[in-house]
Structure 1
Amino acid sequence: MKISSLDRKIYQNYKEARAKLTLKTGDIFTKYLAIQPKKHLELLKNIGGQIPQINPHKTIFVLIPAFYEANFILQTLEALLPKNSDALRFWNNNVVVIILNNYCLRKPDTETPQLVRQFKQKKQFQDIFVINYSFPNKRSNVGYCRKILHDLVILKAEDSDINLADSIFVSFDADILEVDLRIFSKAYKVMRGNAKIDAIQGKMTRLPKGIYRNNLFYIFSAIYDEVRNEWQSRKYRNSGVPKYNFMWNRIFTYGTGLFLRPSVYCEIGGFDGLSLGEDYAIGSKISFLRATGPDSFKNSNVNTVRALNYITVNHPRRDLYAFINGAAVYNKFGLYSHDQKIRKTGIEWGDTYKKIKREMPLNNSNLLVILRTLLDKSAKRISDPTENMAILNRAIQKVKNNSKKLPTRTIYRLDSALEKLNHKR
Structure 2
Amino acid sequence: MDLLRFITAGSVDDGKSTLIGRLLYDSKSIMIDQLEAIERQSKNKEDGEIDLALLTDGLRAEREQGITIDVAYKYFSTPKRKFIIADAPGHIQYTRNMVTGASNADLAIILIDARNGVVEQTRRHSIIASLLNLPHVVVAINKMDLVNYSQDIYNNIVIDYAKVAQSLGLKQVTYIPLSALQGDNIVEKSEKLRWYEGPSLLHFLEQVEVQDTIDLTNARFPVQYVIRPQTDDLHDYRGYAGKIISGVYRVGDAITVQPAGIQSKIKAIELGGKEVKEAFAPQSVVLHLEDNIDISRGDVIVNTAQPVKTAQELEVLLCWMDNKPLVPGNKYLLQINSRVVRSVVRNIEYKLDVNTLEKNEAPQQAVLNDVIKATIKTASPIPYDAYQALRANGGAILIDETSHVTVGACMIQ
Query: After TM superposition, is the score higher than 0.5?
Result: no
Decide which structure has greater helix share. Answer: 1
TM bin, normalised by shorter chain, reads under 0.3
Q: Higher relative contact order at CA 8 Å, sep ≥6: structure 1 or structure 2? A: 1
Is the radius of gyration larger for structure 1 or structure 2? Answer: 2
Decide which structure has greater strand share. Answer: 2
Q: TM-score, normalised by structure 1?
A: 0.24
